[in-house]
Amino acid sequence: MNIQINDIDRIDLKILACLQEDGRISNLKLAEIVSLSPTAVLARVQRLTKDGYLLGYQARLNRSLRPIQKYPCLTKHQHGTSWRDTPAEQSC
C-alpha cells in the first residue's frame, strides 16, 4: 500500500469529506452529492478502502446522555443440555 496524495482526485476528496462527516451516508446519496452514478461511487469507495485512505467506520457515542463504559460481550456456552451466559474474554 503506497499512498500518494496525487493518486486521488477532487471527487475522491469530496467522497472522503462526506464519509468523514457521515460514515452512514447511503451510496445513493453520496452519488447525488458528487454527481456520479452509484456504481461509480461504490467502486471509488472500495478503491479508497483498498488503498488505505479509509480505515474503517466508528460510532460516536454521546456520553453525556449516559456514561458508557467498555462492557464485555456475553456468549453462550453449552454444557450438557443447559446453557449459561459467561463473559467473553474480549469486549464487543
Map out the domains of the chain as residue ranges: 5-50
Q: Mind listing the pLDDT tens digit for each residue in 21-39?
A: 999 999 999 999 999 999 9
* 5-50 is classed CATH 3.40.1160.10: no
pTM of the model: 0.62
DSSP letter string over the chain? ----GGGS-HHHHHHHHHHHH-TT--HHHHHHHHTS-HHHHHHHHHHHHHTTS-----PPP-TTTS-----EEEEEEEETTEEEEEEEEEE-
Q: Mind listing the pLDDT tens digit for each residue in 36-82?
A: 999 999 999 999 999 999 998 888 778 778 765 665 555 555 555 44
